[in-house]
Amino acid sequence: MQGLHLTADLQGCRCASAWLLDAAALGGACTDAVRAAGLQAVGQLFHEFPATARGPGGVTATVLLAESHLCVHTWPEQRTVTLDVYVCNFGADHSAKAHALMDALLALFQPTTADRHALQRGVVSEVAA
């Protein structure tokens, strides 16, 4: 279960509105970024939420990775986004790929501010002989 969990809360996203509103467009960008980072997508779900009195509905984009997952949630009425990248490092260290994926998504959304966190999850245990 040892791995790296990256999160980012983005504010003031200056990206094209499609990245915040269009599930198909955002989903394609997410799967492209996963592939470019060298990770393997094994499933995906992209969902648009309906507009409310507060403004247009956002998008949830989830890409299931062989290494774990990517989740993106958008709030277009606030121009904010939350990002969640987790990679399991059981078979190999995928940390650099996770950082590359996060960096690609930050470049896509162009936030004025980003509150980023990294959490090392689990420990590598030695197998008793």
SS3 state at 40:
coil
Q: Is 105 helix (H, G, I), strand (E, B) or coil?
A: helix
Cα 19 to the center of its chain, rounded Å: 13
The reply to whether 95 belongs to the active site is no
Contacts of 72 (CB under 8 A, 6+ apart): 26, 30, 59, 60, 61, 62, 81, 82, 83, 84, 105
Which candidate in 5, 15, 30, 68 is catalytic?
A: 68
In DSSP notation, 2-39 reads -EEEEEEEEES--S-THHHH-HHHHHHHHHHHHHHHT-
Active-site entry in 13, 15, 88, 94: 88
Residue 58 — φ and ψ, nearest 5°? -95, -165
Active site annotation includes 88:
yes
71, 73, 95, 99: which one is catalytic? 73
Which positions are annotated as active-site residues? 68, 73, 88
